[in-house]
Chains A and B, each alone.
Chain A
């Protein structure tokens, strides 16, 4: 398996532009997570999906951020309009839903997208 695939790996854009980050989870995984990592705030969970349904989006910072999962093999995180403070590394991770009490439910992380907003 190729693991979690994210694109692009690097994105440089100007303030006010729309940015779309993409993620392909591991085949067969039914949970998908979007994280943001910065030096100041560390690793933050933005949103996660289970069976393509958003479960918890309380970590999404503002209305400028939106995420979709139209099918089991694809998710997007969109920022519109982007701002310099959105500069960070964005990670996507996927896992299998746990069978309660029996699974340690490892999350598999993609390589991340480094976003720079000028």
Chain B
């Protein structure tokens, strides 16, 4: 079945890089996503990567995709306190609809 796994917690010092990892099971996923949830709010799409790409960079964010190992990572450079949030990895579900399969979320804590 479809499943997405990620570690639950990550603590980093302000200014350091954060790396959040995720593994997924559906090798046919066309898109993989990172969503961010700030306290008291809904999820917002942070970035996504198409499955024929290995890497995508967007300002401080770098997404790496290893299709062979079904591993996705999100690197945040120069992590700031405003980056403290829960980060969800997601893959597009199978079938013709845009159902997403979400991981449990990684809670990122940034400390001075």
A residues in contact (CB < 8 Å) with B:
4, 31, 33, 42-43, 45, 48, 50, 55-56, 91, 93, 95-98, 100-101, 103-107, 109-112
Q: Is the CB of B30 within 8 A of A106?
A: no
Q: Is the CB of B42 within 8 A of A50?
A: no
- Could you count the A-B residue pairs with CB atoms below 8 Å apart for me: how many are there? 58
Q: How far is the CA of A110 from the CA of B42 in the complex (A)?
A: 6
Q: How far is the CA of A30 from the CA of B45 in the complex (A)?
A: 18
Query: Which A residues lie within 8 Å of B88 (CB)?
Result: 43
A53 to chain B, nearest CB (A): 11
Q: How far is the CA of A56 from the CA of B102 in the complex (A)?
A: 16
Q: How far is the CA of A105 from the CA of B92 in the complex (A)?
A: 9
Query: Which B residues lie within 8 Å of A96 (CB)?
Result: 98
Q: Is the CB of A56 within 8 A of B42?
A: no
Query: Which B residues lie within 8 Å of A93 (CB)?
Result: 42-43
A-B contact pairs, 5 of them (CB 8 A): A33-B99, A48-B97, A105-B31, A105-B98, A111-B40
